[in-house]
Structures are given as C-alpha cells and as structure tokens.
C-alpha cells in the first residue's frame, strides 16, 4: 500500500525541529566562542598596534594584478555555482522521488556500466576545468611572463625572522618594514629569504609570493595614485608575512607606502642622512650605539663602514617609521624604550638580545635614534 499524504509534513516538522535545535546550539557556541576569543585576545601578552588606514583585504584590490585575480575568482565562482545547482537540483528531486516507500520493497533499478553516463560525467568536468584553466593561464602569463619594464623601480625584498628588509639597489637604500614607492610606477620586486621560508603579501596590491632562501621570486605591479596629501607621509597599505615562519610569524608585518613622485624623491634624498646630533643626551646615545653596530647600521655614521651582512634592520631614518619591531608597536618613545629594555617583551623569540642597558642609557639611545628621520630634512 502506498501512502500518499502525511509522510512529507511530518518529516518536514521533524527536520524543522532539528534545525531549530542545531541553530540554538550553534548560536550558543558562537556567542560563547566569541566571548572566549575576545577574552583570550585581551589576555594576550603580544599584541599588534593598529593605526593603518587601509585594511588587509583582497576583495577591493587597487592594482591591475589584484583586479585581474579578483575577476578570475568571479569567473570561477560563477562556473562552480552553476555546477552546484546542476547537481543539487536533480539530487534533491531524486531523493524525494525515489525515497523508500512503506510497503514497497522492490530494489531500485541498477544503472551500473551505462556508457553514455560514464562518458558524460568524465567529459563535462574536463570541459569545465579547461574553461577555468584558460583565463587562469592568461592572468599568469600577463603578469608573470612579461619582462620587467625598463622604467620599473627595482626592490630586493628579503624576509628575515621576523622582519622584512627592502633594498633599493639603484638608490643605495636599505630599510625595513616600510616599502616606500612613488605613485603610478611599475615596481619590480625580487623576493627571497635570509633564513626560513616567508611569504610577502600586501593584500590590496595582490600577488602573495613565497620568500625562499636561495631562490628569487619575482612580483610586479604598478602602484596606485597617491590619495593623501604628501604632508601625511604617503598612503600606508598593510601587509603581513603569510607563511608560518616561527614564534613571531604573526608579528611580522610590512607596509607599502605610496608617495607622490616628489614625495618619493624627497624620501630618497633624505633617507640616508645621518641623525642630527644636537643635545648631550643624543651625543651619549651615539656613543652607546657603538654596542649595536655588529647588527645594525645607520648610513652616514661609522656603523655603516663596518663590512659584512648585518643581522638586524638598517636603522637609517628609523625615527620616521610608523611602527617598530616589524609593525608590532607604534614607534613612540615609550615603546622604543620597552623594546630596548628587552625586545622579547614585545615579540617572543625576537633575535635581538636583551643588552642589559641601564635606564639612562636607554634614554640617550631613544633620543639619538628618534633623530634619525627623513622628516627632519
């Protein structure tokens, strides 16, 4: 006997009840989970200071590369949405139509070995993959195959545990954390690592790229127009190391700073000027800096004449950096003092040791280092 009514409404009711219970359960989990996450965040000893105008997002890209990648995502999403409905609708229909019915024990008709079906569900996915592969190749070759433009600014990007170094071979500049660039200009980045693998990534510029020791990966984009008046010191676009590289991986940020052309030229001219030593305390600081020069250099001072690779960031124009410790904290006098007292207080595993400096020494050093700024010129 086949029952025509009754089964559907009661099944639906049961499903609705279950969904409601799941919903309530999931809601409770979400609320308590969010409260727990907030509390753990508040209790966390190592926090990042904010203060950048541009959030890290890939969906509102500002370079041609990031827009091309987004278009590719959109194409793929449209195709897979079509596939989803083409599979889900017949599936739901089939589940309903051929469900087990009371009093009907006949086994369903078996379709094993149907050549036409086997052929179709092999060929259709192949065709779909080709439709996704073609635009993917186009984007890869458009941005990867072209030789770097002759007018491009060359920058060597080196990932270190746990900070980013930027070297401008054409300008003799070495810096950290802030990748300064002129607006509307092609940039040719050669990305590598000084130790373990890292990944360079400014989401709004697009093109997350691995930084691998002994290997150079290229990335290029054309910078967007500068938005802010140059007095503000350029537009800051946040980036973050995107490959787990050790205990301070999450505290390894970088920013792209886009200037007007004149602003960039001013930055280039002033960057390597030595700190202006004006007070007695700054003179002391300059002296004490003698203990740091095995690992750090400041252009235009003795420290820069010592040969060999330095393991710490170049501190020329350090006073102008918005943040210190690869974006861990805002670059203020107090935070610099905390850093100098014991770097690991701000950053676990920081490869700069606690140098056992006294408070007066720290005061002189902060006063000296804050003089090393291109904004003074």
Strands 173-176 and 178-182: unpaired
Question: Given the complex with ligand HEC, which of 175 and 192 has the nearer CB atom?
Answer: 175
Cβ at position 332, least distance to ligand HEC in Å: 12
- How many chain residues bind ligand HEC (CB under 6 A)? 30
| Contact positions with ligand HEC (CB under 6 A) in 187-246 | none
Neighbours of 370 (CB within 10 A): 19
Q: Left, alpha or beta for 168 (phi > 0: left; psi -120 to 50: alpha)?
A: beta
Cβ at position 288, least distance to ligand HEC in Å: 6
256 binds, among ligand HEC, Cu ion, none (CB under 5 to 8 A by kind): none
Cβ at position 310, least distance to ligand HEC in Å: 8
- Find the binder of ligand HEC among 65, 199, 257, 324 (CB under 6 A): 324
Q: Does 346 bind ligand HEC (CB under 6 A)?
A: no
For residues 310-343, one letter each, b for 16 or more C-beta atoms within 10 angstroms of the residue's C-beta and e for the rest, the string is bebbbbbbbbbbbbbbbbbbebeeebbebbbebb
End-to-end alpha carbon distance in the chain: 94
Question: Given the complex with ligand HEC, which of 222 and 311 has the nearer CB atom?
Answer: 311
201 binds, among Cu ion, ligand HEC, none (CB under 5 to 8 A by kind): none
Q: Left, alpha or beta for 51 (phi > 0: left; psi -120 to 50: alpha)?
A: left
Asked if 37 and 187 count as a contact pair (C-beta separation under 8 A), the reply is: no
| Contact positions with ligand HEC (CB under 6 A) in 141-180 | 162-163, 176-177
245 binds, among ligand HEC, Cu ion, none (CB under 5 to 8 A by kind): Cu ion
For residue 257, give every residue at least 6 positions away whose Cβ sits within 8 Å of its Cβ, in sequence order, or none.
178, 179, 180, 181, 233, 234, 235, 236, 237
Residues paired with 155 in a beta bridge: 189
198 binds, among Cu ion, ligand HEC, none (CB under 5 to 8 A by kind): Cu ion
Asked if 318 and 369 count as a contact pair (C-beta separation under 8 A), the reply is: yes
Question: Given the complex with Cu ion, which of 241 and 336 has the nearer CB atom?
Answer: 241
199 binds, among Cu ion, ligand HEC, none (CB under 5 to 8 A by kind): none
Tell me: cis bond preceding 162? Omega within 30 of 0 counts. yes
Question: Given the complex with ligand HEC, which of 226 and 241 has the nearer CB atom?
Answer: 241
Residues paired with 238 in a beta bridge: 255
Q: What's phi and psi for 284, nearest 5 deg?
A: -60, -45
Question: Given the complex with ligand HEC, which of 69 and 298 has the nearer CB atom?
Answer: 298
Question: Given the complex with ligand HEC, which of 69 and 352 has the nearer CB atom?
Answer: 352
Footprint of ligand HEC on this chain (CB under 6 A)? 162-163, 176-177, 248, 291-292, 294-296, 311-313, 315, 318, 321, 324-326, 339-340, 347, 350-353, 355, 357, 365, 369
């Amino acid at each position: 006997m086949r029952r025509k009514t009754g089964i559907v409404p009661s099944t639906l009711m049961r499903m609705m009840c279950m969904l409601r219970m799941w919903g309530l359960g999931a809601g409770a989990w979400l609320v308590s989970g969010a409260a727990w996450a907030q509390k753990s965040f508040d209790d966390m000893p190592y926090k990042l200071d904010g203060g950048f105008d541009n959030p890290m997002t890939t969906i509102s890209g500002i370079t041609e590369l990031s827009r091309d990648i987004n278009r590719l995502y959109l194409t793929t999403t449209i195709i897979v949405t079509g596939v989803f409905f083409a599979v889900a609708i017949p599936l739901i229909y089939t589940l309903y139509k051929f469900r087990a019915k009371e009093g009907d024990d006949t086994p369903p008709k078996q379709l094993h070995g149907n050549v036409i079906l086997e052929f179709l569900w092999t060929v259709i996915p192949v065709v779909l993959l080709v439709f996704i592969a073609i635009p993917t190749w186009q984007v890869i070759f458009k941005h990867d195959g072209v030789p770097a433009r002759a007018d491009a600014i060359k920058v060597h990007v080196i990932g270190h545990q746990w900070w980013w170094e930027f070297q401008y071979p054409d300008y003799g500049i070495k810096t950290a954390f802030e990748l300064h660039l002129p607006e509307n200009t092609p940039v040719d980045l050669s990305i590598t690592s000084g130790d373990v693998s890292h990944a360079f990534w400014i989401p709004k510029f697009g093109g997350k790229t691995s930084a691998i020791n002994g290997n150079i990966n290229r990335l290029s984009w054309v910078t967007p127009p500068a938005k802010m008046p140059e007095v503000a010191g350029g537009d800051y676009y946040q980036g973050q190391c995107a490959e787990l590289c050790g205990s301070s991986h999450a505290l390894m940020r970088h920013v792209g700073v886009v200037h007007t052309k004149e602003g960039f030229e001013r930055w280039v001219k002033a960057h390597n000027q030595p700190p202006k030593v004006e007070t007695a305390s700054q003179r002391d600081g300059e002296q004490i800096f003698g203990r740091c020069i095995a690992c750090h250099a400041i252009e235009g001072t003795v420290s820069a004449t010592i040969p060999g690779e330095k393991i710490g960031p170049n501190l020329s124009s350090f006073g102008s950096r918005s943040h210190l410790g690869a974006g861990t904290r805002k670059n203020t006098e107090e935070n610099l003092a905390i850093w100098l007292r014991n770097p690991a207080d701000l950053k676990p595993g920081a490869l700069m040791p606690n140098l056992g400096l006294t408070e007066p020494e720290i005061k002189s050093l902060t006063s000296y280092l804050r003089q090393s700024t291109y904004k003074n010129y």
